[in-house]
Amino acid sequence: MKVEKKDLEKSQIELNAELSQDEFKPFINKAAKRISKEVKIDGFRSGNIPYEILKQKIGEMTILEEAARIAISSKLEELIKDHVDGDPVGQPKVDITKLAPENSLEFKVVLALLPEVTLGKYKDLKIKVLKAEVADEDIKKALDEILEMRTKEALVEREVKEGDKVLADLRMFLDNVPIEGGQSKDTVVIMGKNYVVLGFDKHLLGAKKGDVKEFGLPYPKDHHMKNLAGKMVDFKVTIKDVYERIKPELNDDLAKGFGLKSADELKENIKKSIKEQKKKDVDMRAEKEMLESIIAKTKFSDIAEMLVKHEGDKMLAELEQTIAQQGGKFEDYLQSIKKSREQLTLDLLPDAVKRVKTSMMIREVAKREKIKVVDEELNKQIEDMKKHYKGAGSSSPDAKQALAQVNTPEYKSYVYNILSSRKVVDKLKEWNIIN
């Protein structure tokens, strides 16, 4: 096999490989054998169709394309091992550059290499963790949310009062022209809470079912809707229904509904929960500050574009999954931020670069400090994952697929990297963060 190597910019390497006719021929035979098992031709047994007959039936290029796939798959690992210095990362990009009957096979492989990392100072940075403090306002807000969840509603035939819920059809105008997206039916307005713009709800006080209220309100100059910022917007609101909202009292009976003895115990539990969350937040903030500080002191050679693109695609997939888990649709999200998938991907690239650099830095610290994950730790994590998926219902297609994936070498490598990264970050926090 002839190989020509080219160093590309951004830590990439191009390998142009050629298999001679004689080297390629065994793979053609193997491809013909494989295809003949799937093709039915009268008078011939499966897997024993002569090459010329098979060629007439499906076309020679079909056989050659399958042969090229087999050949490249067979030779790729050897090719990279023999001709690449450094650590390849991600999936290589493979293109067939020459494929024709009675000719050699030529193909091109482009690989990204891990960038060279030169660590700066990564110990004794003295990052301070802020104190996690719970204000009375935090507790009040959490209690109000609990009372909101327990609030009951009753349809009433009277005028709108403070605290009511109003169901209304809404139309918005700018200089007597309907505003795009400013027309909605069955809009919920909670009296006493700012809706659309400050003062909107006050204009509905005293109205009854069937009434139409028309009024204008000025939008703030710094409003997020730039087309309305600083302008007078006219509203036409049709009242459809009025609901009285009955909010429960904060007392011992309410606390018992949560399995607690008293309102004081409920407040104490809320305070504890808020403090734990704030502690997590300040810890995460300190960790972020620490990693950013180390990255700023670390030098990197050029980072391969395909490495950054892969990380950007991964971030996009994570965002899409998060939105789906929350019951939303990704296309609706894109529409709400007025961006295409491609535009959002570009927006994510700076953070993708940060994530790549962080990953590379952590890998280098692990190498220098000889931080490793032992087999016992890895195997325990894998077994815990298996138990999790079995507990989730191993008979379901998703659980079966997940269980099958857990047993693959790729997944084992993925788990190893996660555990290793966590170990390194924990050591970095031990060296750098002051509580």
Same domain, 15 and 63: yes
Last residue of a domain, one of 88, 113, 138: 113
Asked whether residue 121 is domain-assigned, the answer is no
Report the pLDDT value the prediction gives residue 425, as an integer from 0 to 100.
97
**Rounded CA separation 165/158 (Å):** 12
Task: Examine residue 199 and state whether it is found in any structural domain, yes or no.
Answer: yes
| Same domain assignment for residues 395 and 315 | yes
Do residue 51 and residue 39 come from a single domain? yes
* Residue 378 resides in a domain: yes
Give residue for tokens 């719970």: 134
Same domain flag for 141 and 157? no
Tens-of-pLDDT digits for all 435 residues of the chain? Answer: 999 999 888 788 999 999 999 999 999 999 999 999 888 888 888 778 888 898 988 999 999 999 999 999 999 989 999 998 877 877 788 999 999 999 999 999 999 888 889 999 999 999 999 999 999 999 999 999 999 999 999 999 999 999 999 999 999 999 999 998 889 999 999 998 877 788 999 999 999 999 999 999 999 998 878 888 899 999 999 999 999 999 999 999 999 999 999 999 999 999 999 999 999 999 999 999 999 999 999 999 888 888 888 899 999 999 999 999 888 899 989 988 889 999 999 999 999 999 999 999 999 999 999 999 999 999 999 888 888 877 655 555 666 777 778 878 778 888 998 999 999 999 999 999 998
pLDDT at 11: 81
Q: At what angle do helices 341-369 and 305-325 cross, to 10 degrees?
A: 110
CATH number of the domain that residue 194 is part of: 3.10.50.40
Q: What is the DSSP string of 366-430?
A: HHHHT----HHHHHHHHHHHHHHHHHTTTTSHHHHHHHHHHTSHHHHHHHHHHHHHHHHHHHHHH
pLDDT tens across 216-268, in order? 999 999 887 888 889 999 999 999 999 999 999 999 999 999 999 999 999 99
Which single residue is written with the structure tokens 């220098």? 368
Are residues 147 and 161 part of one domain? no
17: CATH: 3.30.70.1050
Q: Count up the domains in the chain and report the number.
A: 4
- Report the first-to-last Cα separation within the chain, whole angstroms: 60
321 domain residue, yes or no: yes
Question: Which neighbouring-strand residues pair with 269?
Answer: none
Q: pTM for the complete prediction?
A: 0.71
Q: Is residue 293 part of a domain?
A: yes
Q: Return the pLDDT at 395.
A: 56
Predicted confidence (pLDDT) per residue in 273-328, tens digit? 999 999 999 999 999 999 999 999 999 988 888 888 889 999 999 999 999 988 88
Residue 9 belongs to some domain of the structure: yes
* 82-98 CB burial, b ≥16 within 10 A, e <16: eebeeebbeebebeeee
pLDDT at 392: 57
Same domain, yes or no, for 98 and 145? no
Residue 123 belongs to some domain of the structure = no
Is there a single domain that holds both residue 322 and residue 411?
A: yes
Q: What is the pLDDT of residue 79?
A: 92
Q: Domain check: are 101 and 49 in the same one? A: yes
Instruction: Specify the pLDDT at position 399.
Output: 67
Supply the pLDDT for residue 397. Answer: 63
Are 332 and 420 in the same domain? yes
Same domain (yes/no): 293, 334: no
> Which pLDDT score is estimated for 10?
77
Domain of 177 in residue numbering reads as 152-246
Task: Extract the tokens encoding 318.
Answer: 């994570």
Same domain, yes or no: 220 and 293: no
Q: Please, what's the b/e burial string for 110-121 (b: 16 or more CB within 10 A of its CB; e: otherwise)?
A: bbbbbbebeeee
Look at residue 122 and tell me if it is in a domain.
no
pLDDT at position 62: 94
SS3 (DSSP) at 39? coil
Are residues 137 and 199 located together in one domain of the fold? no
Using CB atoms within 10 Å of the CB of residue 214, give its burial: 0 to 12 exposed, 13 to 18 middle, 19+ buried.
exposed
Q: Residue 104 has what pLDDT?
A: 96
Comparing C-alpha atoms, which of 338, 330, 329, 319 is closest to residue 225?
Answer: 338
Helices (H), 152-304: 252-256, 263-296
